[in-house]
A and B are shown apart, each in its own frame.
Chain A
Amino acid sequence: MRGEGLVTGSPLIEARDLSAGYGGPLALRDVTFAAAPGERIGVLGPNGGGKSTLFRVLLGELPAAHGSVTAPPRCGTVPQTERSRLDYPVSALDVALMGTLSRLPWWRRPGQSEREQAFDALEIVGLRDQARASFGALSGGQRQRVLVARALVQDTRVLLLDEPFSGVDAPNADRLMALIDQFADEGRTVMIATHDVEQARTWDQVLCLNGSQIAFGAPGETLTRDVLEATYGAAIVTLPPTLDGVERGVLAPHHHDH
């Protein structure tokens, strides 16, 4: 279980009336939210809803067209593993070591201390014994954890996870959830782009996007039927209430961003 009272301090991320796009029509409009240290924020939305655009703005890869955003100069990111080349000559250790490059001048290669950090990060995600294994030969869940290890080595205060549970089996998903909790306990802000509404109910805040901001707030008050219908359109499924009578609300269909 996560510790309580860990969400403290001034926001690490703050967006006000943020809009962004790729030169044509805006892909994301009117986003206003703040994320404090230690908060886990689920970012919900359909394909093309603006989740990746928001992450790109926070990473500094895309400028804001309107409004403002403040974020640390460098955020750790865990991209979808589908973006990584599986036929590439890289081991789990090599991928974890990539996290050290942002701290090194371009002419310096990672040394012994950097290698130890990478091994430690792989230990934390439970893959130290797979350090020499080819990244492409690992399972989807293991690859996801290697990318988390890389983000750990980066040692940033903000982590952006893009569909981290996509294609991950239940044991690996539980492990990943525990890691996210651990990051938050350490005072990092973790934003998780996801399609899984039920999972998003377990985070501290949720941000619902569908081209523009639909809602932002604590999951209990925010994830109402109206908000989810506006976020996902009509393509939602009502789940039966649980045995103790708790309304389970609605579940959005599963999508994959590519």
Chain B
Amino acid sequence: MTTDAVLAPVWHALADPWSSSIMVRAFVEVGLLGVAGGALGCWVVFYGLSYSAESLAHSLFPGLVIAALLGLPLLLGGAVGIVAAALAVGVAARAPGVDRDTAVAVVVTGLFGLGALLALSPATPAGVSELLFGDILGISDTDLALAGGLAVIVLVALRLLHGRLLAVGFDRTSAPSLGISPGFIDAALLVLLALAVLVAVQGLGNLLVVAVLVGPAASARLLARRIVPMMVTAAALTILAGLGGLYLSYYVQTAAGASIAGLTVVLYLIAATASRVRSGAGAPDNLKRGITIGA
């Protein structure tokens, strides 16, 4: 048997999924989200905002359902949902005897429950489950344009804010003496995070979007020592998970979004194992290797 005879079926198996424009669109969407989410996700992890990312995603669920019920754009519904959630958290956090963390948990759980209640009502049209789990194989031109716009906005904003993000994360207390408002930086990061969640939720769904924003960045933190390579690694891992997830979906008929999210977790476990092996018996912390950043 010649080499060509062996490789031809392999090549065919690898190339066949991409003859479908649906798969190509899905991959482009994951790539664009990977670039935006990888870069942003690194700051989300460094600022300890992973729970906030999940809260944002869950709290916009009623907005998405209401938009679906009224036939409005999901993006609009999600945006209104996030603003309503922010106001509700602000009000709840001021309640006497309730700390902020508890207030966020109560509001987010309440909003997600409200969304589920609406989604399960008889009047709700079919396909609402796509809001929860996404429909990466049903990506439209508008979705692709939004993901492209998001990637540009996130990269430009992070480039402009790089030094200030670094300074606030390094020592929040000293930041005001350096002329930096930690509140402004936090707000800017949360706005970018809200934008990313809003756009990514279209393809990956309400429950899975956090996996793409947080998982690859957490893995990249274990593998890269400098922040720009960390961002590039996070983006590459998202694209890798996207590629693997789409192949799984094509050949094993698994849900594409869930396959991608699951693979981000698998990649994290591999990264954690590799990090442990590299640093000997010790914990996989970057401190031992002395992570540094390039300006």
Contact = CB atoms under 8 A, between A and B. Distances in A.
A90 B177 contact: no
Nearest to B292: A134
Interface string B218-233: 0000000111001000
Interface in B143-179: 159-164, 166-167, 169-171, 173-174, 176-179
Interface centre among B159, B163, B180, B286 (most CB of A within 10 A): B163
Interface residues of A, number: 39
A179 B212 CA distance: 48
Nearest to A156: B177
- Residue among A89, A101, A115 with most chain B CB within 10 A: A89
B291 interface: yes
B164 A106 contact: yes
Nearest to A88: B170
B292 A101 contact: no
A233 to B, nearest CB: 28
Interface residues of B, number: 33
Contacts of B226: 89
A110 B176 contact: no
Contacts, number: 100
Contacts of A94: 166, 293, 295
A124 interface: no
Contact of B160 (A91, A109, A110): A109
A102 interface: yes
B287 interface: yes
B52 to A, nearest CB: 19
A150 B176 CA distance: 14
Given A89-B227, A101-B164, A75 B170 contact: no
Contact of A87 (B164, B166, B230, B291): B291
Interface string B63-92: 000000000000000000000000000000
Given A87-B291, A95-B170, A133-B290, A101 B176 contact: no
Nearest to B46: A88
Which of A85, A98, A101, A134 has most B Cβ within 10 Å?
A98
Contacts of A86: 287
A195 to B, nearest CB: 20
A60 B170 contact: no
Contacts of A83: 171, 173-174
Nearest to A118: B295
Nearest to A83: B171
A91 B293 contact: yes
Interface string B225-264: 1110010000000000000000000000000000000000
Contact of A90 (B179, B230, B293): B293
A226 interface: no
Interface in A25-56: none
Interface string A120-131: 000000000000
B176 A85 contact: no
Contact of B180 (A95, A101, A133): A101
Nearest to B224: A89
B99 interface: no
Interface of B: 46, 159-164, 166-167, 169-171, 173-174, 176-180, 184, 225-227, 230, 285-287, 290-295
Minimum-distance CB pairs A-B, first 4: A102-B179, A137-B290, A134-B290, A134-B292
24 contacts: A59-B176, A60-B176, A79-B174, A85-B171, A86-B287, A88-B46, A89-B292, A90-B170, A93-B295, A97-B295, A98-B170, A101-B167, A102-B178, A102-B179, A102-B180, A106-B184, A109-B159, A109-B162, A132-B292, A133-B292, A134-B290, A134-B291, A150-B178, A154-B178
